[in-house]
Amino acid sequence: MTSSGNVINLDKNKLYSGVRRARLYQGTRIRRQIMDKQDDPLINVVNADSLDEALKLKRLGYKPIVLDMANREFPGGDYRYDGTTQEAGLFRRTNLFQCLDTEPRRSEFYPIPSQGAIYCPNMVVLRKSAQYKEEFMDRPEWMSFLAVPPLRNPPLVPNENNEMILGERAVIITKKKIQHMFRVALDNGHDAIVLSAFGCGRLHNPPESVANIFKEIIRTNYMGGVKKGRTFSVITFAITNYKSLDSQVDDSYNYDTFKRVMESPDEVPTGEEPESGPEA
């Protein structure tokens, strides 16, 4: 029942259809369709909840997908204990738990392989964001998700300014993860993707490194043009801009860093290693 006293009735067939269609992509070679001509994607960095931003895009006529920064071993992380991670919020607001934290899916999908991505189509969104105390929505909506685990506590090295950045091996792995999530999303017909500060904060991935990896991949492989692989219409980074009471998490720094990097015209190298992974 919603805060206004309405009773929500859900289509059970639709509800469980998405759960049944969930799929683990692991080492799957995905060929991108070559397009005769397409525009560059609109790239945004916004101070917003990732699911709320995706719902806005859906209302504008896009077919968005939301990145779930997944816990590799435990579906939803600490969502059962009022956890504050992005994934915990998604699990409480949707039926992702039915897709990922019930058998036989849990045993089939977890632990998520290093280069794995779990596609969860048409999950029902029942609750508002934490800003609205996760109250029930007056009208449920539907959204697709892609569960991809970031690196946890990756090895860091100092750069020429003595700032800690991802080491070369961590750069290669993160590039593969991002390339894979983009390919899976496009292969399933999504024209918009809502991302976050992938692994930054509690998992200690430096936002400068991660933002530059995203920027390099997008500029190199996912811009528009003639006779190029299909890309998105919209790529949005939704990062809440606030300083958490948890001293390990400063989302304002993540937001500011992604905003600066993605909007800067300068090319910033992410490492000496060439981009690795399957052919696009």
Whether pTM > 0.75 for this model: the answer is: yes
Q: Is the pLDDT assigned to residue 243 strictly greater than 70?
A: no
The span from the CA of 30 to the CA of 157, in Å, is 33
Is residue 12 very low, low, confident or very high in pLDDT (cuts 50, 70, 90)? confident
Q: 31 lies in a domain? A: no
Q: 218 lies in a domain? A: yes
Give the dihedral sign, CA 195/201/203/209.
positive
State the average pLDDT over residues 105-133: 93
What is the tens place of the pLDDT at every residue in 149-159?
999 999 999 99
Q: 206 lies in a domain? A: yes
The span from the CA of 99 to the CA of 123, in Å, is 8
Q: 179 lies in a domain? A: yes
Q: 49 lies in a domain? A: yes
Q: In which domain, by residue range, is 155 found?
A: 36-263
Q: 197 lies in a domain? A: yes
State the average pLDDT over residues 264-278: 48
Q: Is the pLDDT assigned to residue 272 strictly greater than 70?
A: no
CA distances from 196 to 14, 28, 163 (A): 28, 24, 22
Give the dihedral sign, CA 58/32/197/72.
positive
> What's the mean pLDDT when you consider all of the chain?
89
State the average pLDDT over residues 26-34: 86
The span from the CA of 224 to the CA of 135, in Å, is 40
The span from the CA of 118 to the CA of 239, in Å, is 22
Q: What is the model's pLDDT at position 179?
A: 96
Q: 166 lies in a domain? A: yes
30-39, 47-56, 124-133, 142-151, range with the lowest pLDDT: 124-133
Q: Is the pLDDT assigned to residue 254 strictly greater than 60?
A: yes
Q: Which one-letter amino acid corresponds to residue 214?
A: F
The span from the CA of 129 to the CA of 206, in Å, is 26
- Three-state helix/strand/coil letters over the chain: CCCCCCCCCCCHHHHHHHHHHCEEEECCCCCCCEEEEECCCEEEEECCCHHHHHHHHHHCCCCEEEEEECCCCCCCCCHHHCCCCHHHHHHHHECHHHHHCCCCHHHHHCCCCCCEEEEEEEEEEEECCHHHCCCEEEEEEEEEEEEECCCCCCCEEECCCCCEEECHHHHHHHHHHHHHHHHHHHHCCCCEEEECCCCCCCCCCCHHHHHHHHHHHHHHHCCCEEEEECCCCEEEEECCCCECCCCCCEHHHHHHHHHHHHHCCCCCCCCCCCCCCCCC
State the CATH number of the domain containing residue 240: 3.40.220.10
The span from the CA of 2 to the CA of 126, in Å, is 9
Q: Is the pLDDT assigned to residue 132 strictly greater than 90?
A: no
pLDDT greater at residue 81 or residue 66: 66
Q: Is the pLDDT assigned to residue 160 strictly greater than 50?
A: yes
Q: What is the model's pLDDT at position 6?
A: 67
Q: What is the number of structural domains in the chain?
A: 1
Q: 127 lies in a domain? A: yes
Q: What is the model's pLDDT at position 267?
A: 54
Q: Which one-letter amino acid corresponds to residue 63?
A: K
C-alpha dihedral, 89 to 142 to 8 to 100, nearest 10°: -50
Is residue 276 very low, low, confident or very high in pLDDT (cuts 50, 70, 90)? very low
The span from the CA of 239 to the CA of 69, in Å, is 12
Is residue 196 very low, low, confident or very high in pLDDT (cuts 50, 70, 90)? very high
CA distances from 229 to 50, 67, 220 (A): 26, 21, 11
Q: Is the pLDDT assigned to residue 248 strictly greater than 60?
A: no
